[in-house]
Structure 1
Amino acid sequence: MSTHTQEPPVRHPDAYAVVVADTVDDVEHLNELLHSNLPVLLVRDLDQARRLMDGDPPADPVRRPAPLRVSHLEIRPDEQRALWHGVPLELTAQETGLLARLAREDTGVVSFPQLVRDVWGASCGVDTTVIHSAVRRLRRKLEQAGVDVGIASVRGYGLRLAPPARKPSAN
């Protein structure tokens, strides 16, 4: 009769975990769930993780891109923040990314495939129902915060930001 004891997992001395999370609290919660004592590398998004894994140097922290502005809405994609009249909005990183992608579009309309690639980081697996769901939540949050910049749907094609209508000047 042989007794088999389970050996502890072999860990490579250079092992670490890469975690995509919004906050350090998220990482600590994940560490508790995994019962892990691995070093953790916290990244903001999959693009940052890919750059680090590919060995690309981190962006120069001194030269941040200028915030994107639409009316009184300021979007800071590098900080994953959006502000309305200088007041931070309670948005997820994905919602901020969606706003930023729409604000960056020179032609106005961003197609659904472009949104999937640029916001969700995938070329497939995300259909328009996922996008519409995310947009519905984002619209609700913007409306609750009093933001007058909207998100307009271009049926069958994509989305665009809808800046507030200009009031006619009284002459």
Structure 2
Amino acid sequence: MFPMPFKAIPKLPVIDFVYGAHLPPVSKKGYNVPEGHSFFSTETPINDVTILKMLRVPPTDIVAQLVDQSKQAWLDGSSSIQLPGESMYVPLWAPNFWTRIYFDFLPSFKAWHTALEWLKRDELLPFKDQVQATLKSLSTVPWCGNIYAALPGKTAFTMSSLQLYLS
């Protein structure tokens, strides 16, 4: 669904996701939409979608509105979205990406960041070898997805459940 620069995000190791993913900034409440502004446009969207990593993500209420209206806008001939105050036009699928930012990436980012900070506690200094081994493992496993058992027939669990053990 998303172009190449964004498809790699779910495959990033935990350490790279927390310290190197550079998620786009998100808008807080008070987002100003000028009266009469139309988000949807027939203009051609930008080719360099990596711009979306730098563009401020609209607040959730605006994203929900765009997701809800984008299908009809496409049927009506729109091919892009223009955010207030921006000169560029982003693809119609951008609200779906922003939804993933809010509901997948940001919650996991916060949880993994908390888990990694937990490992830095002074109380864990006597366990520095175990902490280093954990950090080494977290530099190789992806931040999302499943952890599968080494033996057949054993239960797999999600990477997000691992966060609970590190907090």
Q: Sort the TM-score into its range (normalised by shorter chain).
A: under 0.3
Tell me the TM-score normalised to structure 2 length: 0.21
Larger Rg: 1
Of the two structures, which has the highest relative contact order with CA contacts closer than 8 Å and spacing of 6 or more? Answer: 2
- Higher helix proportion (structure 1 or 2): 2
